[in-house]
């Protein structure tokens, strides 16, 4: 979430409404002025609440800079402190304007609830918004993401879908993502990635093929891994083997991360940005796929037995200075 950029856009659009019609050049100048001093343009409770969220996210990110220098105990303590600070900031934002969707979402994510509790509460907020505000409309531009004021609700729905994966609600996750792709087809939030995993777990080959075709069959870590899982679950081992080979060869560190998954903290509020084809892409993919992989107990063992896969994982580990952990020790 580029909160600062969204804040500037929100404030500039609201000010333009108050001023009446502006030329494109005048609006660009207005946006520059807002970017220079956003707080000067905050003049309602809704934007004051959003401003508090933006400031809280800035503080949150700043507090993470030295995490790599901390031992496990220090990290856990610092993480607890910054999550508590984020919850407090969200409470302040909601006291200012109780309809701040990003504050509602972030607060729940930062509370460190169990995945079942988190799903129930995120879904409750999502359904309440549908009841009170109606469904998200597709604008003339063709993509709901174009409306900066709708983005918090899109983020919330994507969070519900990802938590659905974590709580084995695969069909609901798939339906939520399909709805997001209908309303925001450019998919700035990557709902297609969550959808690919859900379809693989559901053994929905037809749906997965539709999704893959929709993406021009370009593939990425989520699609390569999902295809391997789907083919494996369908018992089409040669196809699963080919998909696994593609995941290994095309996704940086894919084999290593599948066998040695790394810790990824809670998305606050959405999936972090990543470079296509990067190690971070593979890491986020494996993190999101972990509940599905754990639900297929033979899959990880099967991958180890595929020619060259374990060797590729261990070679990547050695070349990049990582530590190989033997889980049976």
CA-atom Rg of the chain in angstroms? 21
Is the model more confident about 136 or about 182?
A: 182
Is the model more confident about 63 or about 297?
A: 63
Per-position b or e across 180-198, b if 16+ CB within 10 A of its CB: bbebbeebbbbbbbbbbbb
Helix (H) or strand (E) holding 216: none
Tens of pLDDT, residues 143-198: 999 999 999 999 999 999 999 999 999 999 999 999 999 999 999 999 999 999 99
> Per the structure block, which two tokens stand in for 86?
């984020």
Q: What is the pLDDT of residue 191?
A: 97
Q: What is the pLDDT of residue 329?
A: 47
Residue with tokens 């959808």: 195
Instruction: Give yes or no for residue 50 having a pLDDT over 60.
Output: yes
Tens of pLDDT, residues 71-117: 889 999 999 999 999 999 999 999 999 999 999 999 999 999 999 99
Taking the C-alpha atoms of residue 105 and residue 267, their distance in angstroms, rounded to an integer, is: 11
Q: What is the pLDDT of residue 22?
A: 85
Taking the C-alpha atoms of residue 157 and residue 4, their distance in angstroms, rounded to an integer, is: 21
Which pLDDT band holds residue 21 (cuts at 50, 70, 90)?
confident
3-state secondary structure 148-177: CCCHHHHHHHHHHHHHHHHCCCHHHHHHHH
Q: What is the pLDDT of residue 55?
A: 96
Which pLDDT band holds residue 134 (cuts at 50, 70, 90)?
confident
The candidate with the shortest Cα–Cα distance to 161, out of 183, 131, 146, is 183
Q: What is the pLDDT of residue 135?
A: 82
Query: Angle 221-233/205-214 helices, nearest 10 degrees?
Result: 160
Is-contact 2 46, C-beta < 8 A?
Answer: no
Is-contact 292 193, C-beta < 8 A?
Answer: no
Residue with tokens 């407090």: 88
Q: What is the pLDDT of residue 223?
A: 96
Q: What is the pLDDT of residue 87?
A: 97
The DSSP output letter for 146 is G
Burial level of 53, CB count in 10 A (0-12/13-18/19+)? buried
Taking the C-alpha atoms of residue 191 and residue 154, their distance in angstroms, rounded to an integer, is: 10
Tens of pLDDT, residues 197-218: 999 999 999 999 999 999 888 8
Q: Is the dihedral of CA 133, 139, 145, 146 positive or negative?
A: negative
Which pLDDT band holds residue 327 (cuts at 50, 70, 90)?
low
Q: What is the pLDDT of residue 328?
A: 55
Tens of pLDDT, residues 290-308: 999 999 989 999 999 999 9
Tens of pLDDT, residues 236-277: 999 999 999 999 999 999 999 999 999 999 999 999 999 999
Whole-number average pLDDT of the chain: 93
Residue with tokens 């303590």: 77
């Amino acid at each position: 979430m580029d909160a600062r950029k969204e804040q500037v856009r929100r404030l500039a659009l609201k000010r333009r409404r108050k001023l009446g019609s502006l030329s494109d050049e005048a609006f660009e100048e207005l946006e520059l002025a807002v970017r220079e001093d956003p707080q000067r343009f905050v003049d309602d409770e809704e934007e004051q609440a959003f401003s508090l969220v933006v400031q809280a996210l800035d503080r949150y990110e700043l507090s993470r800079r030295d995490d790599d220098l901390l031992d496990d105990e220090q990290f856990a303590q610092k993480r607890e402190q910054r999550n508590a600070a984020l919850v407090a900031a969200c409470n302040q934002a909601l006291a200012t304007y109780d309809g701040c969707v990003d504050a509602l979402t972030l607060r729940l994510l930062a509370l460190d609830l169990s995945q079942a509790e988190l799903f129930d509460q995120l879904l409750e907020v999502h359904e309440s918004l549908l009841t009170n505000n109606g469904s998200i409309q597709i604008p003339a531009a063709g993509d709901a993401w174009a409306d900066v004021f709708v983005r918090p609700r899109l983020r919330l729905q994507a969070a519900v879908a990802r938590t659905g994966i974590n709580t084995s609600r695969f069909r609901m996750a798939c339906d939520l993502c399909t709805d997001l792709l209908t309303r925001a087809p450019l998919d700035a939030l990557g709902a297609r990635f969550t959808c690919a995993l859900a379809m693989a777990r559901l053994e929905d080959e037809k749906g997965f093929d539709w999704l893959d075709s929709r993406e021009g069959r370009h593939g990425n870590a989520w699609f390569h891994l999902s295809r391997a899982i789907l083919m494996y679950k369908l018992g089409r081992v040669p196809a699963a083997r080919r998909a696994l080979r593609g995941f290994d060869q095309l996704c940086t560190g894919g084999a290593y991360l599948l066998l040695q998954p790394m810790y990824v903290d809670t998305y606050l509020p959405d999936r972090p940005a990543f470079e296509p084809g990067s190690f971070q892409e593979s890491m986020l993919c494996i993190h999101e796929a972990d509940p599905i992989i754990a639900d297929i107990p033979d899959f990880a063992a099967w991958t180890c037995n595929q020619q060259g896969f374990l060797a590729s994982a261990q070679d990547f580990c050695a070349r990049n200075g990582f530590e190989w952990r033997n889980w049976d020790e």
